[in-house]
Amino acid sequence: GAKAEVRLSVPPLVEVMRGEPVTLDCTPLGAHDHFVLEWFLADRAGVRRRLASAELHGTELQDKVHDSQSRSPPYQLDSRGRLVLAEAQVGDERDYVCLVKAGAAGTAEATARLSVFAKPEATEVSPNRGTLSVMEDFAQEIATCNSRNGNPAPQITWYRNGQRLEVPMEVNSEGYMTSRTVREASGLLSLTSTLYLRLHKADRDASFHCSVHYRLPTGRHGRLDSPSFHLTLHYPTEHVQFWLGSPSTTAGWVREGDSVQLFCRGDGSPNPEYTFFRLQDKQEDVLKTNLEGNLTLEGVQRSQSGTYGCRVEDYDAAEDAELSKTLELHVAYLDPLELSTGEELSLPLGNSTAVNCSVRGLPTPALRWTKDSVPLGDSPTLSLRSVTFDSAGTYTCEASMPTVPVLSRTRSFELLVQGPPELRAEETQPKAEGGWREGSEVRLTCYARGYPEPKLSWSQLGGSLAEPAPGGQGWVSSSLTLKVTSALSRDGVSCEASNPYGSDRHVFHFGTVAPQTSQAGVAVMAVAVSVGLLLFIVAAFYCMRRKGQPGCCQRGEKGSPPPGEPELSHSGSERPEQTGLLVGGASGGARHGSRGFGDEC
């Protein structure tokens, strides 16, 4: 009748993931020198099976495992008497009873429940791959969702466009689901759920998926979503669209010669059969029938303008559904332009004429005349009055359609103005101040125009061939480069332009031409130097002939005699040293006389 004083510390619930080790604790509270600890496994009927035991003597605990065959790996006891399961399995999910006997202190026991959790495999979904009709008035099978090898059993929910479907488990015409749980040989649980719904046309683009919700230790939860899927539905056509594809303009015109595509689409599924036709005199002329809803008109012609239609052949459609549509095909065309003149038009200078440009097209084209890209007017008739050489050039008639920008045509003619040449000269100014100088170089240029093209000629040789002048407008030019002379100053230089209708002439004048002063001074200096050098040579030669004779290049003792009179010595005797070159011959003058200069040098 004594009250037991043994108390135990045992967790009532132990949670662990499958495959992880788990230790069940059973600790007697208080101080005890001797006790016996036993672990039992209790089944649902309450029958216990001893797994292991341990006995404490002083400080030494002796343990023994009694059931080592029923589990792999087997049960174990650690040094503190705790029950160890090396790898938790689903089969270990039981009640474990710890019994402690402490002699006089009494006996105590406690139960620990073990829960083993297993995360299920990836969620799989198997949608219905058939064609489901929205015309059925009952719920049809949508898909089956599978979750395998989990513990405890998970839950499956269904979603449409991300929104959870609240469907009951009871069968009804609008929608429900069924569920089935299977325990695998491993002890794990697999869950299968099948969804049934009554479908509507709005479900044609709906996205469905299922989610598996499972539990984890410590109250946590997990979720595994399946891939999303769509259904193939059969629903009747309610509306039809019929339109003109590329190429076309905003106004609905197509260009003649282009390939045109017509598109027809109904909103039924699967695609119905499409019939294309053309209305002529209120009669349908069938053009093509196909499932694609496309009709191509290759190289469309103006005669193909008219009313075209498309009809959807859907026998499930409602009686009031509009299954046929029509549209108008407008083929734009623009014929080549016609001018009232040929590619060239020749007019005498000062004459007038008119050129007409005619066009035929649909829609009505707009005309415009241009000359060298400069607009002249929008009238079909181009008036040319009192033409000049400036009127010559290329005239173009342009036809375009504002509603069909890609459709346009042009036609051109060349206007040639016949007449005598028109001449202008480019005057050249002298480079030196005060006018032209003898020998200065000058470049003369003449410009001429007319039709036929005039010829340019010069009064001097060396003129260049005529060539088109910069700036165009029919001008040609020729240049002549020469040196200015007094003769050119007197006569001038002329250039002449001529063609079969006449000629024109221009004379270039240079005015007074100054001599080249710097060259004349050089010539005078050269002559002076030459004369001085000649005199020096003559003087030197004269002195050399007199060399060695007394008094050569010396002044005489007496004054010079008058011209023509020889100087006589006092003794009357000859002075050979004073005769030299001036001594007369045997027949000329006194034999013993002598001639000389007072200063012979």
What pLDDT is attached to residue 517? 58
Q: In this predicted model, what pLDDT tens digit does every residue of 330-372 receive, in sequence order?
A: 999 999 999 999 999 999 999 999 999 999 999 999 999 999 8
Co-location of 132 and 205 in the same domain: yes
How far is CA 274 from each of CA 155, 160, 453, rounded to the nearest angstrom?
48, 33, 70
Residue 349 — φ and ψ, nearest 5°? -55, 125
Co-location of 15 and 113 in the same domain: yes
Residue 590 — φ and ψ, nearest 5°? -70, 140
Reply yes or no on whether the pLDDT at 566 is more than 80: no
Contact between 229 and 207 under an 8 Å Cβ cutoff? The reply is: yes
Tell me the average pLDDT of the chain.
84
Name the residue with higher pLDDT: 519 or 152.
152
Contact between 323 and 240 under an 8 Å Cβ cutoff? The reply is: yes
pLDDT range class, residue 571, cuts 50, 70, 90: very low
Ordered alpha helix ranges (H), 360-498: 486-491
Residue where a domain stops, chosen among 71, 86, 117:
117
Q: How many helices (H) and strands (E) does the chain have?
A: 2, 46
- What residues contact residue 459 under an 8 Å CB cut-off, 6+ apart? 493, 494, 495, 496
CA distance 272 to 289: 11
Co-location of 293 and 367 in the same domain: no
Co-location of 461 and 376 in the same domain: no
Cis bond before residue 247 (omega within 30° of 0): yes
CA distance 516 to 277: 100
Of all residues in the chain, what percent carry a pLDDT higher than 70?
Answer: 86
Of 1, 26, 7, give the one whose Cα is nearest residue 102. 7
Residue 114 — φ and ψ, nearest 5°? -105, 125
- Does some domain include residue 543? no
- Does some domain include residue 93? yes
What pLDDT is attached to residue 548? 54
- Does some domain include residue 76? yes
Instruction: Report the pLDDT averaged over residues 130-156.
Output: 95
Q: In this predicted model, what pLDDT tens digit does every residue of 498-550 receive, in sequence order?
A: 999 899 998 888 777 777 655 545 555 766 778 888 888 888 888 777 665 54
Reply yes or no on whether the pLDDT at 565 is more than 50: no
pLDDT range class, residue 585, cuts 50, 70, 90: very low
**Tokens describing residue 580:** 């030299």
Co-location of 112 and 11 in the same domain: yes
What pLDDT is attached to residue 310? 96
Residue where a domain stops, chosen among 117, 132, 153:
117
CA distance 388 to 411: 23
Burial degree of 511 (CB within 10 A; 0-12, 13-18, 19+): exposed
What pLDDT is attached to residue 560? 41
Co-location of 218 and 191 in the same domain: yes
Contact between 355 and 343 under an 8 Å Cβ cutoff? The reply is: no
- Does some domain include residue 582? no
CA distance 128 to 298: 43
Instruction: Report the pLDDT averaged over residues 253-269.
Output: 92
Report the range of poorest mean pLDDT among 99-108, 218-227, 407-416: 99-108
Name the residue with higher pLDDT: 584 or 403.
403
What pLDDT is attached to residue 31? 73
Name the residue with higher pLDDT: 296 or 106.
296
Strands 324-334 and 253-255, sheet pairing: parallel
Residue where a domain stops, chosen among 234, 258, 282:
234
- Which helix (H) or strand (E) element contains residue 527? helix 517-545
- Does some domain include residue 520? no
Cβ of 114: how many Cβ atoms within 10 Å? 19
How far is CA 1 from each of CA 4, 100, 104, 285, rounded to the nearest angstrom?
9, 18, 11, 114
pLDDT range class, residue 235, cuts 50, 70, 90: very high
Co-location of 303 and 204 in the same domain: no
Report the range of poorest mean pLDDT among 209-213, 381-385, 527-531: 527-531
What pLDDT is attached to residue 441? 82
Instruction: Report the pLDDT averaged over residues 190-211.
Output: 96
CA distance 235 to 138: 15
Strands 294-297 and 260-266, sheet pairing: antiparallel
What pLDDT is attached to residue 558? 40
Co-location of 257 and 227 in the same domain: no
Start-to-end Cα distance in the chain: 191
Would you list the DSSP string of 511-526? Answer: --EE--HHHHHHHHHH
What pLDDT is attached to residue 247? 65
- Does some domain include residue 537? no
Give the strand order in the sheet containing 260-266.
240-244, 260-266, 294-297
Co-location of 433 and 393 in the same domain: no
- What residues contact residue 49 under an 8 Å CB cut-off, 6+ apart? 40, 41, 43, 67
What pLDDT is attached to residue 547? 62
- Does some domain include residue 595? no
Report the range of poorest mean pLDDT among 157-161, 263-267, 400-404: 400-404
Reply yes or no on whether the pLDDT at 2 is more than 60: no
Co-location of 137 and 229 in the same domain: yes
Q: In this predicted model, what pLDDT tens digit does every residue of 12-45 receive, in sequence order?
A: 999 999 999 999 998 888 777 788 999 999 988 8
What pLDDT is attached to residue 105? 79
- Does some domain include residue 539? no
Instruction: Report the pLDDT averaged over residues 566-584.
Output: 35
Co-location of 323 and 383 in the same domain: no
Of 51, 79, 85, give the one whose Cα is nearest residue 65. 51
Report the range of poorest mean pLDDT among 65-74, 189-198, 253-262, 265-274: 65-74
What pLDDT is attached to residue 230? 96
Q: What is the CATH number of the domain that holds 291?
A: 2.60.40.10
What pLDDT is attached to residue 289? 94
pLDDT range class, residue 172, cuts 50, 70, 90: very high
What is the residue range of 342's domain? 334-417
Number of domains in the chain: 5
Reply yes or no on whether the pLDDT at 224 is more than 80: yes
What pLDDT is attached to residue 297? 93
Instruction: Report the pLDDT averaged over residues 219-234.
Output: 96
Q: In this predicted model, what pLDDT tens digit does every residue of 298-328 receive, in sequence order?
A: 999 999 999 999 999 998 888 889 999 999 9
Of all residues in the chain, what percent carry a pLDDT higher than 90?
Answer: 53
Co-location of 88 and 74 in the same domain: yes
